[in-house]
Amino acid sequence: MNSIRTRTRRTALVAATAAAAFVLAACGGDGDGGSGHEGSPHGSASTRAEADGGAGNETGEDAHNAQDVAFAQGMIPHHRQALDMARLAGDRSASPEVKDLAARIEKAQDPEITTMTGWLTAWGEDVPEAMSGTDHSGHAGMPGMMDGADMAKLERASGRAFDTMFLTMMVEHHEGAVEMAGTEKAKGRHAPAKALAEDVVTAQNAEITEMNKLLGKEGKEGKEGRD
């Protein structure tokens, strides 16, 4: 299934590069500005979440369940890959809009990683280890995650080709984050985690709309973030 998705994604990237180049070339000046956001050991954490369902730990502000743990353990590496992608834009992008978007993604998601790491530490749960460089192959299969070949291709790209590839990949990446956040909203127990999930849905859907406009895909809206 992953191989089919990978072939489909690569075919879409080739088609999108040709179709969207003129849209990016026509864009200039300042970006609109906007909101910015967007495993586990997802195998073990997500399996545990499904098995435990609503089983909770602690009471009051510390109340949480297995879904909350799975959300944090999955979203941390998901955010880390988004940061890796965003940091490539600085010296590869030809579009001020893409550079602005990448900076907003980094500004929003880096603090969220710190927040989720704090939850896992307080709960006595494992914090996912950072992968070396842009290699996130250990988390392949998580919604919206790029594989090693995708990341290598993005690293080699520059100019308008980079911008189109970056936007196309980041739309898929954001859609995966919205899906994960929707599950947390529906099944999580920890109020701060559910609030962060709501922020992810709102902010990343707005960015999906923004990126689709840059790609020339008017009318393409984000997902609802519901399971």
pLDDT tens figures, 70-95 = 999 999 999 999 999 999 999 999 99
Number of residues in the chain: 227
> Which amino acid makes up residue 32?
D
Tokens standing for residue 156:
């080699």
Quick one: tokens of 87?
Answer: 């940091």
Q: Is residue 208 a contact partner of residue 167, using CB atoms and an 8 Å limit?
A: no
Asked whether the beta carbons of 188 and 197 are under 8 A apart, the reply is yes
Q: Higher pLDDT residue, 14 or 155? A: 155
CA distances from 3 to 10, 25, 114, 152 (A): 11, 32, 33, 17
Mean pLDDT of 127-150: 77
Tokens 């088609």 correspond to: 15
What is the mean pLDDT of the segment spanning 31-55? 44
Per DSSP, helices labelled H in 27-65 are 40-52
Instruction: Place 31 in a pLDDT band, splitting at 50, 70 and 90.
Output: very low
How much is the mean pLDDT over the chain?
A: 80
168 pLDDT more than 80: yes
Do residues 67 and 189 lie in contact, with contact meaning Cβ atoms separated by under 8 Å? yes
Give pTM, 2 decimals: 0.75
CB-count exposure of residue 141 (10 Å: 0-12, 13-18, 19+): middle
